[in-house]
Amino acid sequence: MQILTIVLQIAILLAIVLLHVAYATYFERKIIGHMQVRLGPMMVGYHGLLQPIADGIKSFFKEDIVPEQADRPLFLFAPVICLVTMLTSLAVIPFAKGWVLADINIGLLFIFAMSSLASYGVILAGWASNSKYTFLGGLRSMAQVISYELPLGLSLVGVMMLSGSLNLTTIVDSQGSSFSSMYLFPQLIGFFVFFVAMLAETNRVPFDLPEAETELVSGYITEYSGMRYALFFMAEYIGMMVMSSIGTICFLGGWNGPFEVPFFPPFWFILKVYGFLFLFIWIRATLPRYRYDQLMALGWKLLLPLALLNIFLTGLFKILVH
Amino acid sequence: MVNQLLFLYCAGVITAMGLLAVNFKNPVYSVLSVMVLFFHVAGLYLLLNAEFLAAIQIIVYAGAILVLYLFVLFLVSLRKEVKIERFIASHKISTLVSLALGGCLLAVIPSFKLGAKGQYPVARVEQLTHTKAMGLELYSNYILPFEIAGLILLIAVIGGLVLARNEKEVKE
Amino acid sequence: MKVQYKPKRNLLETIFQVEILQGMALTLRKLFSPAITRQYPQEKPPMYPGFRGQHALVRDSLTNESKCVACMRCATVCPSRCIKISYHEDESHKRFVDSYTIEALRCVFCGFCVEVCPVGAITMTEVFEYATYNRDTTYFDKDLLLENWDRFMAGSGHDKTYVNPFWRPRGIPESSLPAQRRMNVPDDWTVEKQFVGKKATSSQQCLTATTAGGSH
């Protein structure tokens, strides 16, 4: 009986997240279009609202090409790794008090583990495609992801020190419910490092060199077509949502808000996640791309020392005040 | 009962993946079977109530160290296993020696005795959460080995930087 | 030449990434400003006079035939040689056009043929939506060209004696234009309005100004 409720919850969560992913692509195109003083998709449905469905149907029916010299099992397996790891990390995110699928004591570490595994999908896709530029894209993406995992983790150590636990629900509870007690304010440096590392982990502009459309012909996903391509994109958007959720939980106070919404406790959580997604899209419309060596220099020479400084200052603060 | 079954499953997969890892011709497949092996080692840690270690196992081993193995493989661009000449020409001698070594290994297993129990019974670890228990123990009783391990890693990092540095540095 | 460099960022600006924030403020401002896209099938672009669209042979309002006298000027001046005319002469050396074809796919839509025609027989209408799926329909012969004119006239609401006033070569005095191209003389006609085209009128005024003003 309990298994049945868990399965039902998983199904509802999956359906909601996949719908969000589809409409995240739609809103990204619309918002970037309006920021560039043009309209986005307008033709399919009223103001283009059915565009994601049309895209989904198109991906379904496209021919599935596997290159002849490609490593077939790895080629077929790579998008699955990306998607599965990203979907698994949804299981530990609390959307409201008690609204979490698996309330484990190492929630934050679990999300790290899953995001470091997602990069496997990238590098295997690059390798298995057996093509020069794809492979380069995969290598670059992998190097970028493992370089930025460190500042990501270290920026959250400050939050762990302030809240005293890795359990995501405990982190939100220890932030209290007022505006000024969010961990954003004591951890401003940590938030900045987290935000930049988050952009790099999810391969978004300004760090999207691996999938740069103008340079590597869409990088490690060049040889993929149809549904597998759609799987990679789903994995990227789910990664964006998971990272936004972690940012909301750790720095912005999770599901707490000014007033209680009666029937829908995750209201403020979802609003904050939407705010993060808007930030992602806004930055994509504004900034140019970092060159590869600038990217690596930024990760190792700027963000890592900043994150360590943040840990040091937080530790100092905790010792002196308590 | 469920614990026993899970343990059997994890142990079985670990042994099978270990055997597969040395038998695959494609080195990338070997690395991937080692990754599955690490996953099941993390599963073993979870069965022992050590969730922090399980997550760290995945993050560090499967997520970082194996990636570096993959990088080396890719940069050497090895598609098939390299075939070299055998050291010992005859098959029978090598089989005999390896079976003998295996027999010695199996013979030593019954003499394995568990060590003395620490001061953290399972109930206390569950109350404190494994992360905190491990942190308390590591940073109070085992601080010296911790620092030495950190120093060794630092030397490795510096060595790597020195080896990978561009030799044609400008002289002025 | 004075080169203006941007002042170097100071430390505070680097820490707070002021330039990035200024860029982001710009995109946010543009997010709320109206988009300038024209939704094509519903909103058509505005046609300005002189738009070079589909070719058409003008139907003479008196004889209901085309005005072409087979002088061969349009065929000669066409840079891509897409106009092919064949004619025969009778005893009084009057020419009759046998076939007049325009290969619209070769045409570069320069409008020279319209400018050079002495009788205003060929013109370019404002129709631009005539793409098809087979090539045969873009190879216009005389009847099709006349039909183009009929279709255009039917949709535009002009009367039968309409002459597009845009297609008049500039800088040529009105008296040397053929009768079909000269505009009707309005009641307030003056000599200064003799010449055609804005540039010619301004240069004409310049000339009169400098000669009147004497030496500088």
pLDDT at site C184: 67
Please say if the pLDDT value at position C206 is more than 60: no
Query: Quick one: chain B helix, strand, coil %, rounded to 5?
Result: 75, 0, 25
- Give C151-172 pLDDT, tens digit per residue: 777 777 776 666 676 776 666 6
Residues 6+ apart with CB under 8 A from C182: C174
Residue B143, domain member (yes or no) = no
Half-sphere exposure of B87 toward its Cβ, with a 13 Å CA cutoff? Answer: 2
Buried b (16+ CB within 10 A) or exposed e, A101-133: eeebbbbbbbbbbbbbbbbbbbbbbbbbbbbeb
C145 with C76, same domain: the answer is yes
Q: Are residues C198 and C153 in the same domain?
A: no
Contacts of A35 in chain C (CB under 8 A): 27-28, 30-31
Q: Do A38 and C20 lie within an 8 Å CB cutoff? A: no
> C19-28, C154-163, C170-179: which has the highest mean pLDDT?
C19-28
**Total structural domains within chain A:** 1
The number of distinct structural domains making up chain C is 2
pLDDT computed for residue C210 by the predictor: 46
Is A117 an interface residue toward C (CB < 8 Å)? no
Tokens of A41: 């998709």
Q: Which domain holds residue B73?
A: 1-85
Q: What is the pLDDT of residues A89-122, one digit of tens each?
A: 999 999 988 888 888 888 899 998 998 888 888 8
Residue type, C126: E
User: What value, to the nearest 5°, has the Cα angle with vertex A288 and ends A285 and A292?
Assistant: 135
Mean pLDDT calculated for residue range C56-62: 80
Q: Which of A38, A39, A286 sits opposite C27 (nearest CB)?
A: A286
Q: Which residues contact B151 (CB under 8 A, 6 or more apart)?
A: none
Question: Predicted confidence band at C192 (pLDDT cuts at 50, 70, 90)?
Answer: low
Q: What is the pLDDT of residue B94?
A: 87
Chain B CB within 8 Å of residue A278 CB? no
Q: If you average pLDDT over residues A14-37, what whole number do you get? A: 92
**Touch B-C: 3+ C-beta pairs under 8 A:** no
ipTM confidence: 0.84
Task: State whether B70 and A110 contact (CB < 8 Å).
Answer: no
Contacts 24+ apart (CB under 8 A), B67-75: B67/A119, B67/A120, B67/A123, B67/A142, B67/A146, B69/B31, B69/B34, B70/A123, B70/A127, B70/B28, B70/B31, B71/A139, B71/A142, B73/B27, B73/B28, B73/B31, B74/A123, B74/A127, B74/A135, B74/A139
CA-based end-to-end distance of chain B: 71
Q: Answer yes or no: do C187 and C101 share one domain.
A: no
Interface with A, mutate which of C18, C31, C42 (most A CBs under 10 A): C31
What is the structure's pLDDT at C216? Answer: 41
Q: At what angle do helices A227-251 and A107-128 cross, to 10 degrees?
A: 150
Note whether residue B142 is domain-resident: no
Residues of C in contact with A275 (CB under 8 A): none
Please enumerate residues of B whose Cβ is less than 8 A from a Cβ of A: 26, 28-29, 32, 35, 51-52, 55-56, 58-59, 62-64, 67, 70-71, 74, 129-131
Asked whether the predicted pLDDT for residue A31 surpasses 90, the reply is: yes
Is the same domain home to C117 and C187? no
- Chains B and A: 3 or more CB pairs within 8 Å of each other: yes
Residues of chain A found within 8 Å of residue C36, distances taken between Cβ atoms: 37-38
- Domain membership of residue B114 (yes or no) is no
Q: C107: which residues sit within 8 A by CB, 6+ positions away?
A: C55, C78, C80, C82
Identify whether A313 is part of a domain.
yes
Q: Where residue C59 sits, what CATH number does that domain have?
A: 3.30.70.3270
Contact A311, A162 (CB under 8 A): no
Per-residue pLDDT, A215: 56
Looking at the partner chain, which of A73, A113, A166 has a beta carbon nearest the beta carbon of B59? A113
Would you state the pLDDT for residue A281? 93
Those chains having 3 or more beta-carbon pairs within 8 angstroms of chain A are B, C
Mean pLDDT of C7-32: 82
A220 touches chain B (CB under 8 A): no
CB A103 within 8 A of CB A249: no
Q: What is the CATH number of the domain that holds B14?
A: 1.20.120.1200
- d(CA B104, CA B125) in angstroms, rounded, equals 37
Bigger pLDDT: C60 vs A183: A183
The angle subtended at Cα B73 by Cα A234 and Cα A228, nearest 5°, is 20
Count the neighbouring beta carbons within 10 Å of the beta carbon of residue A303. 23
Structural domain contains residue C184: yes
Note down pLDDT in tens along chain B; length 172 residues.
Answer: 899 999 999 999 999 999 999 998 888 899 999 999 999 999 999 998 888 999 999 999 998 899 888 888 888 877 666 778 887 778 888 899 999 999 999 999 888 888 777 777 778 887 888 888 888 888 888 999 999 999 999 999 999 889 888 766 554 4
Q: Two tokens at B17?
A: 């993946």
Q: How far apart are the first and last CA of chain C?
A: 30
Query: Do C178 and C163 have their domain in common?
Result: no
> Is C61 a domain residue?
yes
pLDDT for residue C170: 62
Does the model's pTM come out above 0.95?
no
Write the DSSP assignment of A276-293 as a string of letters: HHHHHHHHHHH--PPPHH
In a domain, C195, yes or no: yes
Residue B172, pLDDT score: 44
Closest residue to C35, CB basis, from A39, A283, A287: A39
C68 and C160 assigned to the same domain: yes
Say whether pLDDT at A144 is over 80: yes
Range of the domain at C128: 55-167
Residues C155 and C185 in one domain: no
On whether residue A180 sits in a domain, the answer given is: yes
Q: Taking CA atoms, what residue in B is nearest to A122?
A: B67
What pLDDT digit, counting tens, does each position of A42-85 carry?
888 888 899 999 998 998 898 888 888 877 888 888 899 989 99
C194 and C145 co-located in one domain? no
Is A8 domain-assigned? no
State the residue range of the domain holding A67. Answer: 62-321
Give, for C99, the enclosing helix (H) or strand (E).
strand C95-103
C157 and C194 assigned to the same domain: no
Q: Are residues C184 and C141 part of one domain?
A: no
Angle between helix axes A227-251 and A188-201 (nearest 10 degrees) is: 170
